[in-house]
Amino acid sequence: MNSGEIKLIEPAIELKAEFLAMAEEFKAEGADVINGVGCIEPGDFENSVKRAKEHVDGIGLPEGWVPASTYWLVRDEILIGTCNLRHELNVFLENYGGHIGYSVRRSQRNKGYGTQMLRFALQKARDLGIERALVTCDDNNIASARTIEKNGGKLADKVKTEYAEYLIRRYWIEL
């Protein structure tokens, strides 16, 4: 890891170029969805950041969404990754998304950032009063499974859902 301080911050308009660069990295690898990005869209960046702040308090949520906080992991003004902390679970999140979704951009992978970002997000979950967090990943995403396990995740099960063509690993983490 680099020498600068690593921190979890709320989305910031000032980091638009970094967000767009991160989105391009995901697009280049064929990802149509960036896990953990919440409602922030590259094409409507400024309004999306405003909506993300409203979603913390449950304002303006699309149908089926729950209150959630979006965070970015940064070091030296470099956007490393993004995570979304859902304040509660609904049926979809119980089976597929969990309390926390996260992604690290390709150029920053294999440096321990995912583990650190999830650790920070779990502390935020504790601060919200969540006592037990559900974190999920695709069954074939071994790197994410290891990240969850390093943060205390205990595999509950692997489920097939209507939302995906593959098995989802569901981990619980006691907070």
Query: Per-residue confidence of the chain (175 residues) as pLDDT tens digits?
Result: 446 899 999 999 999 999 999 999 988 988 766 777 788 888 889 999 999 999 999 999 999 999 999 999 999 989 999 999 999 999 999 988 999 999 999 999 999 999 999 999 999 999 999 999 999 999 999 999 999 999 999 999 999 987 778 899 999 999 9
Distance from C-alpha of 162 to C-alpha of 82, rounded to nearest angstrom: 25
Residue 116 lies in a domain: yes
CA angle 111, 71, 158 (to 5 degrees): 70
Residue 75 belongs to domain spanning:
6-130
Residue where the block lists tokens 């006592």 = 131
For residue 88, tell me if it sits in a domain: yes
Q: For residue 46, give the CATH number of its domain.
A: 3.40.630.30
Q: Is there a domain that residue 1 lies in?
A: no
Cβ burial of 56 (10 Å; 0-12, 13-18, 19+) is: middle
In a domain, 73, yes or no: yes
Residue 156 domain-assigned (yes or no) = no
Please give the Cα distance from 83 to 102 (Å, whole number). 4
Residue 163 lies in a domain: no
Assigned domain for 140 exists: no
